[in-house]
Structure 1
Amino acid sequence: MPAVEAWAIEPLWVQFEALLPPHLETHPWGCHNPRIPDRIMFDKLVAKLVFGGSYEKHADQSCSATTMRTRRNEWIAAGVFAGLEQIVLETYDRVVGLDLADITVDGQITKAPCGGEVAGKSPVDRGKLGIKWSRMTDGRGIPLGCVVTGANRHDSPLLRPTLEKLGRFELALPEQITVHLDAGYDSTVTRKLLTDLGCEWRIQPKGVVIPINHTRRWVVERTNSWYSRGFNFTLSCTERRAVVINALLALMTAIIVIRRLIREAWTSQRWDTRPDRRP
């Protein structure tokens, strides 16, 4: 069973491969073991994100866990993951169009049993270590950026660094942006921040029950489910370094966006590898 459908992972791999830095053989005698193909490493990383588990669980005769970590670090240093995420988002904007006039931000907490640089005591899991993802989406639920921090951090202070992720779309930002938030952001500090940034807001008042399907915030909840139901990595994150977590998060975002791009472009675009049915 493939970790990700072929119609989604193949175009993603083509772009990923184009971003890989050239590798030069430096051994003077050429007698060392041949380099494991990058495609094998890429498939292993995707499988780890989807199915979860440690690198040792995904190691086999084709590659070792150490090789997986080494190749992953090489790609992080070369900026491959961040570059892939940016290209996929820009492609979606050209083909379908991002709805940047309505922005939604929300937090999501996951377990971090191994601790690490961004782990903190979770208030919803008896004080066990966890990670909070402060995620921002456009009006259709396309993930635009995410800030990773400890689970003990409140959502409100994370709003500014999360909204700063919009800087990647500086040339495409509309004149007026409306930010949709839940009751956790209902404070004078949040309203002052949004005013300083020139944004309008729709914040659910504290103590008032409003069905989420009566607001524009439901899209971010759906996006959170795309991460939690599609990638076991977000249910229990065993990585300890923030740079690795952010890199793998960028890869997950690229997979989600390419899926949405193919689904929404299926009725209006034609290409050689187009699926027979709408995904």
Structure 2
Amino acid sequence: MPALPSWLTEPLWDQFVALLPKRPEFHPDHPLGCHRRRISDRIIFDKMLQLLRFGCSYEAIADTACSATTIRTRRDEWIQLGVFAQLKKIALDSYDRIVGLVLDQIAVDGSITKAPGGGEAAGRSPVDRGKQGLKRSGMTDGYGIPLGRVLAGANRHDSPLLAPTLDRLDDLGPLPDDITVHLDAGYDSDKTRELLSERGLHGRIAHKGEKAPIQASRRWHVERTHAWQNAFYRLARCYERRATVIDAFFDLADTIITVRSLIRRAWTTHRWDERPNRRP
């Protein structure tokens, strides 16, 4: 069963393989040149998509094509090369060029998920009887395109994570002069308002004690993006222990979300050879 439809997988792979360095089929240092061939990068890439989408273990996804060790080794190799982060940046740049990021309206919010394996970014979850959990402080544009995130233990409050989350805006290049940040009542404090004022940002913050629908504003976009990310079961129930690996899977998921939104929104205005027959 494919993890993603072909109209989404193929453009992802075409760009992904362009970021990989050229590697010989056989290792040049082998004295006889007759050892096993290097496993194809496309096989590992498809396995990574399956891991992200279905949330299964490396051993469960391994087969005669490649072993679990090979998947982990190639994954770490790609992380060290920064391929996942580059892929996400290219997807964001393409979306901004074709559709346009809504950067004058930013939404930030936290989301807690399970982390049964613990690890560097895990902490005691206040909503799961103290079990290990992972919090991500996510930031989206006005449509819900993920712009970045900060990982922390589930016991961290949203408010202290706002500053490092907003720092991700520095990676986006030129920004509008007037930016409004939409936040929920968890950020309702003078400290948050001072932080936004120091950065030249306007805050639209829900007030504590008032019903959310009255002041929901455009905050629902980040809530929807959290739901999109949790549809990838690797992120909804994270067994990875290293923060770099978790970030890599998040970068891959954010790339998929961005490219999927790009294809969906450009379907009615653009034509290309591999365009789906129906709007996705």
Q: Is the 8 A contact 2:206 2:215 kept in 1?
A: no
The structure-2 alpha-carbon separation of the partners of 1:100 and 1:57, relative to structure 1 and needing over 3 Å to count, comes to same
Q: Which runs of 5+ in 1 are unaligned?
A: none
Q: 1:12 matched to which residue of 2?
A: 12
Q: Please give the secondary structure, in 1, of the residue aligned with 2:38.
A: coil
Q: Any idea what the Cα deviations from partners look like across 1:14-42, whole Å, max 9, x if unmatched? A: 00000012224222311211111000000
Aligned to 1:211, what secondary structure does the other structure show? helix
> What does the per-residue CA deviation read over 1:116-145, in whole Å, with 9 as the maximum and x for residues that have no partner?
011000000000001001000000000000
Q: Give the C-alpha shift of residue 232 in structure 1.
A: 0.5
Distance 2:60 2:135 in 1: 25
| Cα distance in 2, alignment partners of residues 107 and 265 from structure 1 | 30
1:132 is matched with which residue?
Answer: 135
Tell me how far apart the structure 2 counterparts of residues 76 and 213 of structure 1 sit (CA, whole Å).
40
Equivalent residue runs for 1:21-36 within 5 Å: 21-24=21-24, 25-26=27-28, 27-36=30-39
Which 5+ residue runs of structure 2 have no aligned equivalent?
Answer: none
Which SS does the other structure have where 1:174 is aligned?
A: coil
Per-residue displacement from partner, 1:22-69 (whole Å, max 9, x unpaired)? 224222311211111000000000000000021001001110000000
Indicate the residue corresponding to 1:263 in structure 2. Answer: 264
**Cross-structure match for 1:55:** 58
Alpha-carbon distance in structure 1 between the residues aligned to 2:217 and 2:97 = 27
Matching residue of 2:279: 278
Q: 2:182 is matched by which residue type in structure 1?
A: H
- Compute the TM-score of the two structures, normalised by the length of structure 2: 0.97
Could you tell me which of 192, 196, 199 is aligned with 2:201?
199
Matches within 5 A, 1:1-279: 1-24=1-24, 25-26=27-28, 27-171=30-174, 173-211=175-213, 214-229=216-231, 231-279=232-280
Length, aligned pairs only: 277
**How far 1:212 sits from its partner (Å)?**
7.3
Distance across 2 between alignment mates of 1:142 and 1:131: 21
Question: 1:72-129: per-residue Cα shift (whole Å, max 9, x none)?
Answer: 0110111100000000000000000000000000111111111101100000000000
Mapped partners of 2:207, 2:20: distance in 1:
47
Quick one: distance in 2 between partners of 1:63 and 1:73? 15
The letter for the 2-side match of 1:3 is A
- Tell me the C-alpha RMSD between the 2 structures: 1.0
Check 1:217–1:180 CA distance in 2 against 1; reply closer, same or farther (3 A cut).
Answer: same
Label 1:186 to 1:225 Cα distance change in 2 as closer, same or farther (>3 A): same
What CA distance in whole angstroms lies between the structure 2 residues aligned with 1:90 and 1:130? 32
Q: Secondary structure at the match of 2:212?
A: coil
Compare 220-229 and 122-131 and name the one that shifted more. 220-229
AA in 2 matched with 1:84:
L
Percent sequence identity over aligned pairs: 61
Task: Look up the equivalent residue of 2:251 and give its one-letter code.
Answer: A
- SS of the equivalent of 2:176 reads coil
**Aligned mates of 2:151, 2:58 — CA distance in 1:** 22
Distance change >3 Å, CA 157–CA 84, structure 1 → 2? same
Distance, in Å, in 2 between the alignment partners of 1:211 and 1:228 is: 23
For residues 88 and 77 of structure 1, do their structure 2 counterparts lie closer, same or farther at Cα, with a shift above 3 Å needed?
same
Contact 2:206 2:216 in 1 (8 A): no
Paired letter, 1:109: I
Distance (whole Å) between structure 2 residues aligned to residue 122 and residue 198 of structure 1: 33
* TM value normalised by structure 1: 0.97
For residues 176 and 259 of structure 1, the distance between their equivalents in structure 2, rounded to whole angstroms, comes to: 28
